[in-house]
Structure 1
Amino acid sequence: MALPFPNTDTTSTVIEDLHTFDPEAAISNQTESVCGTNFSVNETEKSDFQLSPSGDFFRGIGGIDKNTGQFNWSKVPWFELFNQQTQDLINKHPSITDALKATGFQKVTDIWRNTIQESGELTAVSSEFGSLNYAEVEQITKTLAHNLRSFDSEPLLKAGDKVLLPFPSTPELLVAMIGVIDAGLTPVPILFTLDETKLLSAMENALKLTGAKMVMGMGLPSCVSAMQALKEKNSELHFVVGELAAAQKVKTVGLTFKSVLGRFLGKVSPVPEGFHSLYSMCQHCNHKQELITPKSSLLEPAIVLLTSGTTGKSKAIELTHEQLLILSIQLKIDILGNPEVQLSKNPHIYFPLPLGHAFGAGVSLVLTPSVQGHIILVTNPRDPKSLIQPLKSGHPEVLMGVAKIYDVLIKKVPDELTRLYANTPPSLVVSGAAAMPEVTRNNVERHLHTKVREGFGMSETGIASALQVQNNPKQGYIPMAGNTYCILDSNQADQFTEGFNPFDLLTDGEGDLMLAGNVSSHYLQQEDKTQETFIKDKFGRQWVRTGDTAKQIGEKGEFEIIGRNKEIIIVNGANYNPDEIDNTIKGHPRISESMVFRLPKDLSDQAGSDLTVLLIKISGNVALSDEDVQGFMRGNHAHEAVIPREGCIIRLPKNVMFPQTDTAKPKRVHMTNEIIRMLEEQGEEGKVDTNKLQSIVEKILSVQFG
């Protein structure tokens, strides 16, 4: 029995910046759950759920009694928009937590066990290098879990310890996550890159946030070198590496695999001294006494997800077993209950994104086994051939991706895509992360003959929290069963603090989108960020401030996302910290002051990708070219996606003050909003004309801050 640590002697292909895809995108409904609030139904309480008369817009907070704070998931105004299966489940159980209890599941891997018992022969996961069925996944992960539980190297591991997993998007990562969870430990996937410096930085930051005790990674030279550098700094860490000689074939449970390792570099590193072999830990039981007893509480962490990993300064969020199991119920009833989505017994799920992010964790760990699916991975989504090959060979009926992926497919292989799905369109096409531009949506639907359905969520909101209305995506979003939302007046944002009354801050127009239900409660090791994002109301209910501006557009509570009010710059679904970008220009001998902020590329799609705008003050009298600024930023390892393009580098006189608060914090959001306002006043719509930015910024700053 062995992992598909596939080996090949083929030449390397670039996966270097897979981490640029950052599809970003759960609360227990019981008193002692993650949210610390009671979402169950109490029929004896006086109720005022603010249900609207027919034909009037709903006003209030869906399903929450404004007097008692009680939540009733059958009283949400969008109840009728759920499919029949979802409505039946809601009518059967007083809360989604009760629905979870009825399953008997205690940890997320129980979903896998259930599918293994029913259909172990079905394929569970594959990539361009091979596949594993559910029974094989069970055998491999069971062996790995035993060896981890009986791991007797000092210092000893204990239940709940974190394990960093720097893997590319391969079957190995999925198997590692399941095995670590079954061992009673907590996996922390790390977005993989062949850049040793970036990978080491990401691991160091994750180690700081999580206090991990083990690093289990792929045996590529860059990864092994980064792990060795980490070992030199921390001798208490345990290291496990996946290794095999190049071009060696490994026989496993009747299947032969070639290694992704050889695919990328033609060779892999041997297991360094002091490291443990992942291959051996997956193949051979050591039969030692197990030293770890996994905890059985639903409220124990199942996985730690890292956000904004491209900056190397991620935030870490624990998701509990309860949260992921609730997500499995939400996704299963939504997809299988949709009469227009007819899935086969073992539906092929195309997933060309990293498994290390929230989107990937949700699809691989939760959705795939919930529908007895077969997840098809693409290790190098930047290669159009790699993107199209799984579609040609497997003809997947469920496509999961982001706008950028669909754009590449449409632009590079439109005829082939149309031909593949001309007679048998996919049953479900889902897009996550950044909002899909209208032109992309139209192209995808024309070529695939299936409506695109977008999901909304983030690591902080239990991965997925709202979906576009079934069969009519343009109708807007509704929260998934057991969740709710409110839109608060952005002008009263200073009142979004602990103990606030959300009913006092509601707005009928655009405002801050807040989500409750299947959400998390805190970041690890970052109390200041926790207070900004996770806020409990007067009823004790946990809300997440998403950083998005939204507006209700339907009489049943449907809403649309207008744009983002956060400072984070998002390009193709990847999050970038403006401070990190700004730091790459610091130290330039000719630049005395700088400031970075976001601006949507397209005014008609303000929730989509951003431009990076850079304000600078130049010392001396000699001109400074855009190329010089861009080159300096590249030299300081700025990601290419966020280096400001022509027209976005704004030069300002020395006597003009940059906009800042009383505490000297840059007013980035203010600048974004002011530029949008002035462009719209000039009648601009669609893609931003960057040639106008210099004069607009000068006008804003001279009038308000000159």
Structure 2
Amino acid sequence: MNLVSKLGETAKSKPDRTAYIFGEQTESYGGLQQKIDRFAGGLHELGVEKGDHVALLLGNTPHFLISFYGALKAGAVVIPINPTYTPTEIGYMLTNGDAKVIVAAGQLLPLYEKMHESLPKVEHVVLCETGEPLKESENIEINMKLKSFSKMMRSSVQSFPELKEEDTAAILYTSGTTGKPKGAMLTHQNLFSNANDTAQYLTMNEADLVVAALPMFHVFCLTVCMNAPLMNGAAILIVPKFSPAAVFKLVKKYKATIFSGVPTMYNYLYQYDEADATGFDSIRICISGGAAMPVALLKSFEDKFDVLVLEGYGLSEASPVSCFNPFSTGRKPGSIGTNILNVKNKVVDELGEELPPGQVGELIVKGPNVMKGYYKMPEETAHTLKDGWLYTGDLARRDEDGYFYIVDRKKDMIIVGGYNVYPREIEEVLYRHPEVAEAVVIGVPDPTKGEAVQCYVVPKTKTLTEDDVSSHCKKHLAKYKRPSAIVFLEEIPKNSTGKILRRALKDMLSKQS
């Protein structure tokens, strides 16, 4: 079984059931299947063969959904790319990923015009109509490569290649927090198993309407908000771009039942002045991932909107989900939960030996969701995959009940005078201050202690002072954990999914020095 065949079964058995809502447009499973078949046929007519790479530079629109499943059905390997990346970042992924076809929003044509000479392997560029008429390029060579998404949908091809579990289905590039982004190769088995297991774990069903406000090109949304709902006949509410106003409006209008987001999104929703306690009345479950959610924020959000927030854990290399808090048998705030179906997690020491409950070590993952490796990076693959286990690079601990807790990224740990300091612990304390809206902690060089703690704070009010923050930390933190410097910012740098970029803060710091 794979994503394509499972969707096909639902479309055949329940063709009239709603598959997605986008603006005023509602599409059924039967209608979605027809569009997927036509797009797959269009790719076939362009010469796309099994194993060819198709890159998607698309935001949250039906084009993404149709292109993703259409490319899979055609036997292609899909490479979702953030369309807001810089030309350098996009160029690297297209080149490293050996993209043969690009599917992009029409307004990205000028970007391709600037890049096309450095992309000789790209044979076709499919432009999606997004309200404005598609423009032609003045370059004849480029025009020969351009294709219209709507014209692609006129194909009548009916024959498609057989998809095997071990075939690569997608290459998802990591965020590249250290060095160049790495392309995680996920198989059809990886994607299907994780989507299906996640849907079952969260009891997604035909009555659910899942909000897709996270970027669809990101693995969190791809699996939890797109693939998982479609595996169980649920519907997707596609939100073009996240904003608190848009989310509250659409949730109320369509009575959505499941919302997924990163902690920053929950913070924005909680802080939104026009939000009231009834804003999430129809939501039966909220899911948080992508980064650790401060317990103070989690409790405040739940109290305000009377909804349960369950934290989970995942990474691109695991398709992505490996842990979730179970809502049927209770959850533990601050925990990423327990093993999901068919997936095992362990906390190990430097030698790979499992540690007892309470001790901090590296989290490793094993299951049908774990990638086959990094594309064209055998050394990185060997470093990350050992004896069937995926080494995540995250520090964690396990309690006596089998619940896991992320302590921090292994590379983010700060060593102050020989003591291990975990940024998340300090951030949890900072978030408990009533006048702190956001906070992030990094390590900075120190001539006597090796490293020191520096924190960045976005205040809720102009009255908050460094002394206020310092006094608060003194009450709750040992001396070596306290920030040596406190910096106030209007906004903390984040990536497209709302994940805080510690690297950007370190770069900013190095430029200042």
Report the TM-score when normalising by structure 1. Answer: 0.58
3-state SS, counterpart of residue 428 of structure 2: coil
Judged with a 3 Å threshold, the aligned counterparts in structure 2 of structure 1 residues 282 and 390 are, in CA distance, closer, same or farther, namely farther
Judged with a 3 Å threshold, the aligned counterparts in structure 2 of structure 1 residues 365 and 351 are, in CA distance, closer, same or farther, namely closer
Map 1:200-211; keep pairs closer than 5 Å: 200-211=87-98
CA distance in 2, matches of 1:511, 1:135: 48
Instruction: Check if 1:553 corresponds to 2:411.
Output: no
3-state SS, counterpart of residue 551 of structure 1: strand
Counterpart residue type for residue 225 of structure 1 = P
Higher RCO, Cα 8 Å, sep 6+: 1
Aligned equivalent of 1:84: none
Instruction: Check if 1:350 corresponds to 2:195.
Output: no
Map 1:321-360; keep pairs closer than 5 Å: 321-336=188-203, 345-360=206-221
3-state SS, counterpart of residue 474 of structure 1: coil
3-state SS, counterpart of residue 261 of structure 2: strand
Q: 1:513 aligned to 363, 374, 379, which one? A: 363
Aligned equivalent of 2:238: 377
Contact 1:201 / 1:312 at 8 angstroms: preserved in 2? no
Aligned equivalent of 1:59: none
CA shift digits 1:369-390 (9 cap, x unpaired): 1221221122221x33223221
CA distance in 1, matches of 2:28, 2:127: 20
Aligned equivalent of 1:233: 118
Map 1:353-502; keep pairs closer than 5 Å: 353-381=214-242, 383-413=243-273, 415-416=275-276, 418-421=277-280, 424-471=281-328, 472-474=330-332, 476=335, 477-489=337-349, 493=350, 495-496=351-352, 502=353
| Bigger mean CA deviation after superposition, 128-137 or 306-315 | 306-315
Q: Using the TM superposition, give the Cα deviation of residue 508 of structure 1 relative to its aligned residue in structure 2, in angstroms.
A: 5.6
Q: Using the TM superposition, give the Cα deviation of residue 190 of structure 1 relative to its aligned residue in structure 2, in angstroms.
A: 0.5
Q: Using the TM superposition, give the Cα deviation of residue 611 of structure 1 relative to its aligned residue in structure 2, in angstroms.
A: 3.7
Q: Using the TM superposition, give the Cα deviation of residue 309 of structure 1 relative to its aligned residue in structure 2, in angstroms.
A: 5.8
Judged with a 3 Å threshold, the aligned counterparts in structure 2 of structure 1 residues 546 and 610 are, in CA distance, closer, same or farther, namely farther
Instruction: Check if 1:313 corresponds to 2:313.
Output: no
Map 1:62-461; keep pairs closer than 5 Å: 105=1, 107-128=2-23, 130-152=25-47, 157-193=48-84, 198-220=85-107, 223-244=108-129, 259=130, 261-262=131-132, 269-270=135-136, 273-285=143-155, 294-308=161-175, 313-336=180-203, 345-381=206-242, 383-413=243-273, 415-416=275-276, 418-421=277-280, 424-461=281-318
3-state SS, counterpart of residue 111 of structure 1: helix
CA distance in 1, matches of 2:439, 2:390: 22
Judged with a 3 Å threshold, the aligned counterparts in structure 2 of structure 1 residues 644 and 286 are, in CA distance, closer, same or farther, namely farther
CA distance in 2, matches of 1:644, 1:192: 31
Instruction: Check if 1:682 corresponds to 2:479.
Output: yes
Judged with a 3 Å threshold, the aligned counterparts in structure 2 of structure 1 residues 296 and 609 are, in CA distance, closer, same or farther, namely farther
3-state SS, counterpart of residue 175 of structure 1: helix
CA distance in 1, matches of 2:70, 2:413: 34
3-state SS, counterpart of residue 216 of structure 1: strand
CA distance in 2, matches of 1:310, 1:565: 12
- % identical equivalent positions: 21
CA distance in 2, matches of 1:185, 1:461: 20
Counterpart residue type for residue 149 of structure 2 = Y
Judged with a 3 Å threshold, the aligned counterparts in structure 2 of structure 1 residues 605 and 123 are, in CA distance, closer, same or farther, namely farther
Judged with a 3 Å threshold, the aligned counterparts in structure 2 of structure 1 residues 399 and 447 are, in CA distance, closer, same or farther, namely same
Contact 1:454 / 1:468 at 8 angstroms: preserved in 2? yes
Q: Using the TM superposition, give the Cα deviation of residue 303 of structure 1 relative to its aligned residue in structure 2, in angstroms.
A: 1.4
CA shift digits 1:109-147 (9 cap, x unpaired): 112112211222222123336332212211111111112
Report the TM-score when normalising by structure 2. Answer: 0.78
Judged with a 3 Å threshold, the aligned counterparts in structure 2 of structure 1 residues 394 and 535 are, in CA distance, closer, same or farther, namely same
Counterpart residue type for residue 324 of structure 1 = L
Counterpart residue type for residue 553 of structure 1 = D
CA distance in 1, matches of 2:99, 2:184: 14
CA distance in 2, matches of 1:178, 1:344: 21
Contact 2:128 / 2:149 at 8 angstroms: preserved in 1? yes
Contact 1:601 / 1:610 at 8 angstroms: preserved in 2? no
Judged with a 3 Å threshold, the aligned counterparts in structure 2 of structure 1 residues 218 and 603 are, in CA distance, closer, same or farther, namely closer
Aligned equivalent of 2:492: none
Contact 1:614 / 1:644 at 8 angstroms: preserved in 2? no
Counterpart residue type for residue 682 of structure 1 = K
CA distance in 1, matches of 2:181, 2:225: 22
Q: 2:411 aligned to 556, 563, 566, which one? A: 566
Q: Using the TM superposition, give the Cα deviation of residue 232 of structure 1 relative to its aligned residue in structure 2, in angstroms.
A: 1.7
Contact 1:123 / 1:346 at 8 angstroms: preserved in 2? no
3-state SS, counterpart of residue 426 of structure 2: coil
Q: 1:527 aligned to 353, 373, 378, which one? A: 378
Contact 2:212 / 2:226 at 8 angstroms: preserved in 1? no
CA distance in 2, matches of 1:456, 1:363: 12
CA distance in 1, matches of 2:149, 2:396: 48
3-state SS, counterpart of residue 256 of structure 2: coil
Counterpart residue type for residue 389 of structure 2 = W
Q: Using the TM superposition, give the Cα deviation of residue 600 of structure 1 relative to its aligned residue in structure 2, in angstroms.
A: 4.7
RMSD: 3.5
Contact 1:350 / 1:396 at 8 angstroms: preserved in 2? yes
Judged with a 3 Å threshold, the aligned counterparts in structure 2 of structure 1 residues 511 and 205 are, in CA distance, closer, same or farther, namely same
CA distance in 2, matches of 1:689, 1:279: 55
Contact 1:202 / 1:309 at 8 angstroms: preserved in 2? no
Quick check: which one's strand share is greater? 2
Query: Greater Rg, structure 1 or structure 2?
Result: 1
Judged with a 3 Å threshold, the aligned counterparts in structure 2 of structure 1 residues 440 and 646 are, in CA distance, closer, same or farther, namely closer
Aligned equivalent of 1:95: none
How many positions carry a matched residue from both structures? 447
Aligned equivalent of 1:657: none
Aligned equivalent of 1:586: none
CA distance in 1, matches of 2:54, 2:344: 33
Gaps in structure 1 of 5+ consecutive residues:
1-104, 245-258, 337-342, 497-501, 537-541, 570-596, 618-642, 648-675, 693-706
CA shift digits 1:2-52 (9 cap, x unpaired): xxxxxxxxxxxxxxxxxxxxxxxxxxxxxxxxxxxxxxxxxxxxxxxxxxx
Aligned equivalent of 1:33: none
